[in-house]
Amino acid sequence: MSFSLQDTEFIRTQTLRALSSNRAPGLHFAGYFFNITAQRFEIDGVEFTIDPGPHCADANGIVNRAALLYLADIALAGAIRVFVDPNSRTATLMLRVEFTGEPARGRLTASGRGNGFSPVTALPECVAAGRITCEGREVVRMSGTWVAPPAPQGVVVRGARWEGGENGNDWPLLKKNELEAKEKAAMRSVEKALREAQNGDLLGPLCNPRVKRTAQGATGRLAVGMHIGNRVGHVQGGFLLHAALATAEATVPNHPLLTGASAWYISPGLGKVINARSTILQSGRNVAVVRTELFSAGRKLVLEVVSNHAVGARPAHPVGT
């Protein structure tokens, strides 16, 4: 078993708590599962934190990239949500991330700031920028563009607890026999990840797509469920980007350092499965560029990503050798 009995019990309790809290309007399962906390939520800036643990970090204490990208998306979205009604829906148009190479070990702190909505476009857009640090070390730089479109028909959006909404952690803890079908499926996904995880990395089997190398690059298949969903029933933007990058990395194994990516969100991530397709745009001695497309049912384009991959620096020779 990859986890101690104590860690396994923690993860199962965290999952049940997140499923119970998810029934409250506002924040979604992943936010409660990661126990994301808003330290600051103001017009002139926001700050969110996630503490590491066996539910999001491996045995070496390194937080999985899925949690990093989830936090990046949430923090920048929060930086533009300060400008809208708390019960409004917001959606990502574009997200840019740069990885500094610093390990994501320790408490994650994401800060961001938006510049207000532009009156130039029919559907006003807002740009936000920020960064994620771990114990003072800059790990990720990010920026992006958001809009506030109407909610899907029949969906009522409510603000998260830091926007004045309900705190789902105040809701009673469900018993397993009280779970609904989608909640039971999420619990099964976590149990499966507990069995398959290597080196204590729960989010690997829980959030990674099934990737296969091809003659042209690589393909990926991401199982969709509540554990990676947002409040309106779509796959959350950070998890979509993570699935794309995991597929892209398999395309260029000789360039193992992911340094940055730009993502354009074309349509919602819907259905039971999201499929990924990565192709190499350039593969040189030191740098590679990969294009990745994500599709929902009917080959509808969901996400378009261009990512940069690099070869690590060679260690310098000691003086006198």
Q: What are phi and psi of 128, to 5 degrees?
A: -135, 155
Average of per-residue pLDDT across 207-227: 95
Q: Are residues 157 and 13 in the same domain?
A: yes
At residue 318, does pLDDT exceed 70?
Answer: no
Q: Are residues 53 and 163 in the same domain?
A: yes
Average of per-residue pLDDT across 99-122: 96
**What pLDDT, on the 0 to 100 scale, is given for residue 167?**
95
In a domain, residue 50? The reply is yes
In a domain, residue 67? The reply is yes
User: What pLDDT digit, counting tens, does each position of 116-148 carry?
Assistant: 999 999 999 999 999 999 999 999 999 999 999
- Residue-number span of the structural domain to which 263 is assigned: 208-313
Q: Are residues 115 and 64 in the same domain?
A: yes
Length of the chain measured in residues = 321
**Alpha-carbon distance values, 222 to 236, 240, 264, 294 (Å):** 13, 9, 18, 10
Q: Are residues 235 and 281 in the same domain?
A: yes
**What pLDDT, on the 0 to 100 scale, is given for residue 211?**
97
In a domain, residue 132? The reply is yes
Q: Are residues 1 and 138 in the same domain?
A: yes
Q: Are residues 212 and 70 in the same domain?
A: no
At residue 321, does pLDDT exceed 70?
Answer: no
Q: Are residues 168 and 242 in the same domain?
A: no
Q: Are residues 174 and 212 in the same domain?
A: no
CATH of the domain at 105: 3.10.129.10
Q: Are residues 238 and 163 in the same domain?
A: no
Q: List strands edge to edge, sheet with 137-147.
A: 37-42, 45-50, 108-117, 125-134, 137-147, 91-99, 257-265, 300-310, 287-296, 273-283, 217-223, 210-213
User: What pLDDT digit, counting tens, does each position of 57-89 carry?
Assistant: 999 999 999 999 999 999 999 999 999 999 888
In a domain, residue 202? The reply is no
Query: What SS3 class is residue 9?
Result: helix
Q: Are residues 15 and 156 in the same domain?
A: yes
At residue 239, does pLDDT exceed 70?
Answer: yes
If you write DSSP's letter for every residue of 74-96 in order, what string do you get?
Answer: HHHHHHHHTTS-TT---EEEEEE
Q: Are residues 148 and 8 in the same domain?
A: yes
